[in-house]
Structure 1
Amino acid sequence: MPRRDLHAVFRSNDPDLRAVDVFTNRESEYEAVVRSIRTVRAETDSQSFDVEDMEQPRRNVLVFYGVGGIGKTTLSKTLTAWLADPRTGPSQWQPPEQALPRTVPIRVDLARSRAVDIESIVLTVRAELSVLGRPMPAFDLALQRYWEHNRPGESLQAHLASHSGLRRFADSLPAQIDSAIGDAAQLLGLPGTVGLLAGRGIAAAIRGLRQRRRRHHALACRRLPDLLDADPDIEALSFYPHLLAWDLAHLPGGRSALPVIMLDTFEDVGDRTDRERERLLQRLVWLMPNAVFVITGRNRLQWDDERLNDVLDWAGTRCWPQLGTQADGEPRQHLVGYLSPQDCHDYLARRITHLDEPLIPPHIRAIIATRSEGLPLYLDLAVTRYLTLYRRLGTMPAMREIDHDFAALVDRIFRDLTTEERHMARAVSLFDSFSVDLATATAGLERDGVALRLIDRPFIEHDSTGLWPYRLHNPVRSALRDADHRGEDSWSAADWRRAAQRAFDALGTGRDRTAARGDRRILVNCLTQGLRLARDFDLPLDWLIDAAFAYVGDSVWDSLEVGDPLLPRGFPPPTGGAATALITTLGIIARRNRVPRHRTADELRAVLDAGHLPPDLVELPRYYLAMCERDLGHLAASMNGMRLVADAGGRLSADAARGLFHLARRLGRFRDALTTVETLGDDGKQHRARGELWWSQGDISMACACLARARDDAFRAGFSGEAALCQAYLSFSAAFEDRPRALEQIDHATNLLGAAPVGWATLQVEVARLVADAGHDPELPGRARAVAATTRAAGLSSLCAYASLAACFHAAVLESDTLTEQARSWLYDCVHGDEFAYLIEIAHMFTGSNLPPDVARADWIEGQPAARNRWRLLVSERRRQLMTTERT
């Protein structure tokens, strides 16, 4: 029974009001384990399950990860004890409605201090499975060979007896292994067991197994001979779990059980620098698909990351579909961190009741649970405040009376901190996340010792994968900024402003120091936190101007989550000055590929009209407004905006000159566009511009060469977004010529865009797929219409026109008059006066037909006949490829 809360007993005269101390015991984690066991058992019972199938993805890993000291090891131990005896589980863990299948719980603590290696882990798993009372013939043969080779003179029984955790198996396991070896000798027709696994004996055993002269179910594992033939070293041992899984899969029904293997303290294995131990452990997990692995550690398991293919045997969501961030169902990965929302809700419901009903209504419980972010102390303070207000008011208090930051939270956290540590805690509350260097600089200290002590405190969260790995837990951070106004060492408004300036300067120094490396994560983190500090504390923009231009320069639109102001008590709200205007501008630019272009254009005009940006930054919204105008087909307005930016000679002048080039190209003024290209230089992405120009002339080889050079230059400069954009254009250009090669380029572009997403380029790759499939896919016209509709809705007029051109190419390859007429009508819808009229001309070049007199003629670089011959040749070549494919 829960104990009464004595504080509440002496706070009220109401005998029907009951407050109790509640212990929340990870019910959601418990339920995840139950569902995982059922899921894996159902999969292994399926007739299609084959334990020897090494190519099927694995769905047998349940992960609980979170900050240190939050109770993961306790959870692991509790689960192990509960599986061994359900009567030992916490009272909150209700028994499943249907009994679970039989399990064998096995727990391994991987802490470095325990010096656990793969040999001891494999031996532990086999020893624990001896409770099934059956030999594991395939595994036991291999284990005995390994043991005799690597530990001569040491009996397995003596080794087990010396191991405190395995002592109870010292008799049963060796007996089972002896039985398995004796049976094997008899089945293979070998004289006795002595020497069976050495010298000629092992050769005879392997030969007998391979020739299957003595077929027997117990030794039918097809990989057993290979494992016995291999050198019995650690590498071979790490593959033996496959034999164990095979033996388990072939146990008689009455002896069958599902191993549930707990791997605790996994951060000491997967330390993300030396992954050798992790590789061997992953092999154990992969080779035993008929076992549930419950992994607990500080870090999220990274096996879903395909970039680890060079250090792990199996990586990527194709191998581990349930370990990806979008996985649902069980088993999958769970952040333990603090109490789950459901645990918070249950805590609040049971913590204080009136007439055995929760005193706090559901909607307020939900809000408190959300604000707490799982921090038990916050929940307890909220309950105490609610009870006080309830007794004072005689009715249910409103959420606004409860929703505030508790000074008591700060008092309790600061209670055992030194003065320097309290000073440091206030300093790091200025950051969303921080490093030791940032903390020390912001606190105005010269040594890191205080920061190193602070990060060990339980209210500091740690994420080793983050750029800056530490953060103050949000409720603590909010309380510290708003409620820390008592005590002799509290900060004044001037103290907070000086600290904010130090934090801002430290971010700028870090950004400047790493700018040459081109690390975009550093840029985005510095920019996000610097913008918030400049806005909240009304600081000069300073280094933020350079950072803003660097941010837009790579065309990778990472979200800048600046968030709402979080100011100390007594500070006025932000004034809406230059920093606010810059935040608004960058936000508009970053999301422009996800909203209609006309909306982006309206928002950028509003920024310019407001006039809050300094002169150095006005070209930023003006340039991107001109781009929007171009995409919307407002060519005169676009040209005027581009010319203003180009003539100003600012940081975007080269980009604006390239924008003028694009406008000339859209209008079919190709010779003017070529002249402009010569003036662009590297800053204006000259090689990409050349590629964009030459594909329209039908010179695909020249276009691809230029775009490949532009991509490689971008990679060398560290501009991953620009490289991905060039690769997307390269895939589109190549798609007109060599289809197999083009499909490779499309895959390459897709991979690059996965790491550096660029919205326009992603849609361009879809158009490239259309061009590559021209003549091959009878459904292509419908696909082209769908892509055109998507691009039109996004305000991307050029891609809409290119999708229609792909349909024209398809129709020309098939020599279909009906499809040609249909596709050209779609293309005509994309042409507005001279804009994109050259595409109509190309569509007629495909078929050699005459251009209608009302269509504007382009100014082709080498003349219209040369362009027509190239496009006709590309159509003929695609027909030839198509006929070759059909004959094959």
Structure 2
Amino acid sequence: MDFDHTFPALIARTLSELTGDERHVLRSAGLLDAFDPDLATQAAGLTHQSAARRLIERSMISEDPYAIWPYHLHGAIRAALRTADDHTEDQWTPADRHQAAERALAALGRQWQNARADTPVPSRALLVACLRQGLRLAADHHLDDLNWLADAAYAYAYTEDSVWEPVAPPAALHAPDANQQEPDTSADALAELLDAIARRQHQHRERTAGRLIKCWPRACCSARSLALPSTTAPRPTRTSDSPTTPCTACARSPTPAAGSAPLARGGLANLARIRGDFPTALAAILTLGWKGRHHSILGHIRWPHGDIDRVVAAFEAAWTEAEQHGAAGQRAVAQTLLALVTAFADPDRADEELALVSRDPVRVSSHCC
């Protein structure tokens, strides 16, 4: 290769040596952190993979055979693709790049949704990888259709077992004056929301509550994302000096759709309980149903009042409902709470409840509590 040129000029020369379809796939793949032939083909809007297959044989394409998407372009090449003046007839305009970003985001969503449909427990690594690429694409190109991202964010935080993997929100949100900065886009806000949830046990709870409140209005792009802060806010406000503020913010937000409404209302009921507004919490229980953990929340309301018999009855009802619905995690939580409560009134029964817990070990994720 002739190196008597600047790097962008070398990229432009390389582009001129490719076929039209290969150039189109290369520019589309350059929008992604990593890709496979199918993802690159869908991002390019083509119906055949031949161009992508030829492209990955080129020396400019790096390969990691153990990655979810094994192929990637070096950052310098990706940057040069955005700025190189290649003088080809099919050189992209900003509108072309935006449309390719929309196709790439949709393709990522289809990969995650197909994996979720094919297996009862889809790969968490794929979920996190799709979130990372999707959030970056949506933020960099100011994309508005975030429906699958919101669903994936909900799965990341509540229908899986942990929330410790970072999803790399924009660096500006972690600057020293991040408290004064607002997310620029809905994708930025959704990334900040997920980071606040993931880091809630690594920073002061009042800081977590503040971050949730700040990013909520822009992050609530669907019913799923509406449920995220309202079900998370009770935890950081348990030790906050002013739990009323998060509760007020939650109450002002739009009402989630049916699928997420019980969890969101359960979060509001917990907030009311924590701030001592027991009448509001009790009234909210009537609207929760099983999905909103109504019996469990009722038990938590009765518990600080020392009404042991009614607390036991509530947690027994929670156990029975969990058993009826095959919710092993919730059943284990209810069983453990029964052991705790009965220890204050009937130690012998508490021993029996603990024995039952030990004989029925299950994996319990944080959203069961």
The equivalent of 1:140 in structure 2 is none
Inter-CA distance 415–744: structure 2 relative to 1 (3 Å threshold) = farther
- Rounded Cα–Cα distance in structure 1 between residues aligned with 2:226 and 2:99: 29
Contact 2:68 2:126 in 1 (8 A): yes
The one-letter code sitting in structure 2 at the alignment partner of 1:703 is: F
The amino acid that maps onto 2:128 is: V
Aligned to 1:582: 190
How far does the alpha carbon of each residue in 1:87-123 deviate from its partner, in whole angstroms, 9 at most, with x for none? xxxxxxxxxxxxxxxxxxxxxxxxxxxxxxxxxxxxx
> Residue 439 of structure 1 aligns to which amino acid in structure 2?
A
Which of residues 538, 560, 575 in structure 1 aligns to 2:167? 560
Contact 2:232 2:267 (C-alpha < 8 Å) held by counterparts: no
Specify the alignment match of 1:426 in structure 2. Answer: 27
Q: Which residue of 194, 199, 203 corresponds with 1:595?
A: 203
Partner of 1:470: 71
Amino acid at match of 1:534: A
For residues 455 and 701 of structure 1, the distance between their equivalents in structure 2, rounded to whole angstroms, comes to 63
Mapped to 1, the partners of 2:317 and 2:60 lie a distance apart of: 55
Asked if 1:658 is matched to 2:266, the reply is: yes
* Residues in 1 aligned to 2:277 and 2:359: alpha-carbon distance in whole angstroms: 29
Q: Is 1:706 aligned to residue 318 of structure 2?
A: yes
Whole-Å separation in 2 of the counterparts to 1:547 and 1:467: 17
Residues 6-56 of structure 1 deviation map (CA, whole Å, 9 limit, x = unaligned):
xxxxxxxxxxxxxxxxxxxxxxxxxxxxxxxxxxxxxxxxxxxxxxxxxxx
Contact 1:731 1:745 in 2 (8 A): no
Secondary structure at the counterpart of residue 95 of structure 2: helix
Q: Which among 49, 57, 73 is matched to residue 448 of structure 1?
A: 49
Kindly indicate whether the alpha-carbon contact (under 8 Å) linking 2:24 and 2:44 is maintained by their aligned counterparts in 1. Answer: yes
What is the Cα deviation at residue 560 of structure 1?
1.4
Q: CA 1:653–1:455 in structure 2 vs 1: closer, same or farther (change >3 Å)?
A: same
Structure 1 residues 406 and 563, CA gap change in structure 2 (3 angstroms): farther
Shift of the alpha carbon at 1:597? 0.8
Distance (Å, rounded) in 2 between the aligned partners of 1:484 and 1:727: 62
Alignment of 1:660-679 (within 5 A): 660-663=268-271, 676-679=284-287
| Cα contact 1:643–1:656 (8 A) shared by 2 | no
Map 1:56-75 → 2, pairs under 5 A: none
1:545-582 C-alpha deviation (Å, 9 max, x unpaired): 444444444374242125569xxxxxxxxx92333333
- Pair 1:536–1:435, CA change in 2 (3 A): same
Question: Aligned equivalents of 1:536 and 1:638: distance in 2?
Answer: 30
Return closer, same or farther for 1:673/1:711 CA change in 2, 3 Å cut-off: farther
* Partner SS, residue 680 of structure 1: coil
How does the TM-score come out when normalised to structure 2? 0.68
- 1:683 aligns to what SS in structure 2? coil
Counterpart of 1:629 in 2: which secondary structure?
A: coil
> Given the superposition, is the C-alpha separation of residues 666 and 538 from structure 1 closer, same or farther in structure 2, using an over 3 Å criterion?
closer
Q: Please tell me whether the aligned partners of residues 166 and 198 of structure 2 are also in contact (alpha carbons under 8 angstroms).
A: yes
Q: Taking structure 1 as reference, are residues 470 and 700 closer, same or farther at Cα in structure 2, changes over 3 Å only?
A: farther
Amino acid in structure 2 at the alignment position of 1:560:
V
Partner of 2:145, secondary structure, is: coil
Checking the alignment, whether the CA contact within 8 Å between 1:622 and 1:641 is kept in structure 2 is no
Instruction: Give the superposed CA RMSD.
Output: 4.7
> How far is 1:738 from its partner?
3.0
Q: CA deviation at 1:441?
A: 0.9
What secondary structure, in the 3-state scheme, does the structure 1 residue paired with 2:48 have? coil
State whether residues 169 and 192 of structure 2, in contact with CA within 8 Å, keep that contact through their aligned partners in structure 1: no
- Superposed, 1:63-212 pairs within 5 Å as none
Q: Which residue of 2 aligns with 1:494?
A: 95
Please tell me whether the aligned partners of residues 425 and 454 of structure 1 are also in contact (alpha carbons under 8 angstroms).
yes
2:312 & 2:191 partners in 1: Cα distance?
41
- How many Å apart are 1:529 and its aligned residue? 2.1
The answer as to 2:131 corresponding to 1:527 is yes
Give the counterpart letter for 1:527 in structure 2: L
Asked if structure 2 preserves the Cα contact closer than 8 Å seen for 1:435 and 1:470, the reply is yes
- CA deviation digits over 1:180-230, x for unaligned, max 9? xxxxxxxxxxxxxxxxxxxxxxxxxxxxxxxxxxxxxxxxxxxxxxxxxxx
Query: C-alpha separation between the residues in 1 aligned to 2:256 and 2:153?
Result: 17
Identity among equivalent positions (%) equals: 33
- Extract unaligned runs of 5+ from structure 1: 1-376, 386-404, 566-574, 717-722, 765-888
Q: Answer yes or no: is the 8 Å Cα contact 1:598–1:632 preserved in 2.
A: yes
What is the aligned residue count? 338
- TM (norm. structure 1) is 0.32
Q: Compute the displacement of 1:446 (Å).
A: 0.6
User: Residue by residue, what CA displacement relative to the aligned partner does 1:117-137 show, whole Å, maximum 9, x if unpaired?
Assistant: xxxxxxxxxxxxxxxxxxxxx
- Partner of 1:310 in structure 2? none
Q: State the match for 2:347 in structure 1.
A: none
Q: Aligned-pair distance for 1:464?
A: 4.8
Q: Is residue 623–residue 642 contact of structure 1 (8 Å, CA) maintained in 2?
A: no
Task: Identify the match of residue 738 of structure 1 among 314, 339, 351.
Answer: 351
SS in 1 for 2:72: strand
Inter-partner Cα distance in structure 2 for 1:665 and 1:584:
27
CA change 1:744–1:548 in 2 (3 A) is: closer
Equivalent residue of 2:167, what SS? Answer: coil
* Secondary structure in structure 2 of the residue aligned to 1:738: helix
Q: Which runs of 5+ in 2 are unaligned?
A: 173-182, 344-349
The letter of the residue matching 2:130 is C
Q: 1:578 to 1:675 in 2, by over 3 A?
A: closer
The one-letter amino acid paired with 1:532 is R
Distance (Å, rounded) in 1 between the aligned partners of 2:293 and 2:67: 32
Query: 5 Å matches for 1:606-625?
Result: 606-607=214-215, 612=218, 621=229, 624-625=232-233
Partner of 1:539: 143
Q: Which of 406, 426, 436 is matched with 2:7 structurally? A: 406
